[in-house]
Structure 1
Amino acid sequence: MRPQDIVILLKIIAMRERSWYNKDLARDLNISGSEVSESLHRSMIAGLINKKKEQVFKKDLIDFLVHGLKYVFPVRPGRLVRGMPTAYSAPVLNKEFVVDDPYVWAGGDKIQKGVAINPLYSTVPMACKNDALLYDLLSLTDALRIGGGGEQLIKILSNKIYDTID
């Protein structure tokens, strides 16, 4: 697995039940088409998407995010910068959790001052500007990468992922 694999799977979930092509994912995430294709193949081998590469196995993805993500793609907090809020500082979580030092993806709209963390993939902030659900999912994912939050965070993430089909 590579970090962009998680971003692509979460984008598919964020698209809800809409049909899509690899070129749609590539355009929306600013990732090359070949990279999308390779990513979907890796996710199929990992058992996170079906063989037709159309349906994400949400329970399996949540299990991976909850139990493996912080070990495979850990967060290394950086310096104080201005950027786009993520993790516990993002709108999806900032009313549930209080943090002393907000976490941000550096650059972008430079909305908030906080501790810089690298997104899973460099194009994430740009992709999230146009997709509020993807922003929520990736912010929740960053919170899992950082750690803490326990069962409350897992419940919020699970509900957000499963609510996309209702």
Structure 2
Amino acid sequence: MRKHKGMRPQDVVILLKIVAQDTQVWNYLTLSYGLSISQSEVSESLHRSAFAGLIDNEKKSVYKKALLDFLIYGIKYVFPVKPGAIVRGMPTAHSARPLSEIITSSEIYVWPDEEGIARGQSIEPLYSSVPKAIKGDVRLYELLALVDAIRVGKARERNIAVEELTKRMTYS
């Protein structure tokens, strides 16, 4: 048995991609391609997630309640982030949908991306390929933006993000 060395940020991205897939059939290759993560890293990630109790032992069904609990109560402590320099990028946290439709703020947070549509304070994504992975995957984009709102947001933003994330994780 391989030794478990703790969760990594890409584990969250991979689990959220599976959740975003909903009923679509997926395999390691489609996850690898869709997230620009190697197949071996996808395999290792799913092993860590199974050990942590976030996906079943067959690595096919995400335990959404357990993942949601981790995201609500642990993500900001395990993978903290602080806003950085002003850069061009893809909006995230409260600057992206669905929170941008609920919260008005002069602060704009973005994942750095040369092809980005906004300028704002940089937020390091959970994994470097996130800005590429969310293009064309609206569900994944919303889930990751909500997770960033929990990681970086103030109390009100976090509470609204938790509510929106719970809706998406419970009813998907």
What TM-score, normalized by structure 2, do the two folds share? 0.92
CA deviation vs aligned residue, 1:97-144 (integer Å, no higher than 9, x gap): 122211001124221111001100000010100201000000001001
Provide the rounded CA distance (Å) in 2 between the counterparts of 1:63 and 1:9. Answer: 13
1:160 aligned onto 2:164: no
Structure 1 residue runs of 5 or longer lacking an equivalent are none
- Residue 150 of structure 2 aligns to which amino acid in structure 1? L
TM-score computed with the length of structure 1 as normaliser: 0.95
Q: Is the 8 A contact 2:147 2:161 kept in 1?
A: no
2:11 is aligned with 1:18: no
In structure 1, the residue corresponding to 2:105 is in which secondary structure? coil
Structure 2 distance, partners of 1:14, 1:108, is 25
> Using the alignment, how far apart are the partners of 1:108 and 1:157 within structure 2?
28
**Of 132, 139, 147, the match for 2:145:** 139
Kindly report the root-mean-square deviation, in angstroms, between the aligned alpha carbons of the 2 structures: 1.1
What number of residue pairs does the alignment pair up?
164
Q: Which runs of 5+ in 2 are unaligned?
A: 1-6
Tell me whether 1:89 sits opposite 2:59 in the alignment. Answer: no
Provide, for residues 9-57 of structure 1, a one-character-per-residue CA deviation record: whole Å limited to 9, x for no partner.
Answer: 0000011111211111001000000000000000000000001000000
4+ long deviations beyond 4 Å:
none
* CA distance in 1: counterparts of 2:43 and 2:28, whole angstroms: 7
Task: For 1:88 and 1:147, locate their aligned partners in 2 and report how far apart those are by CA, in whole Å.
Answer: 8
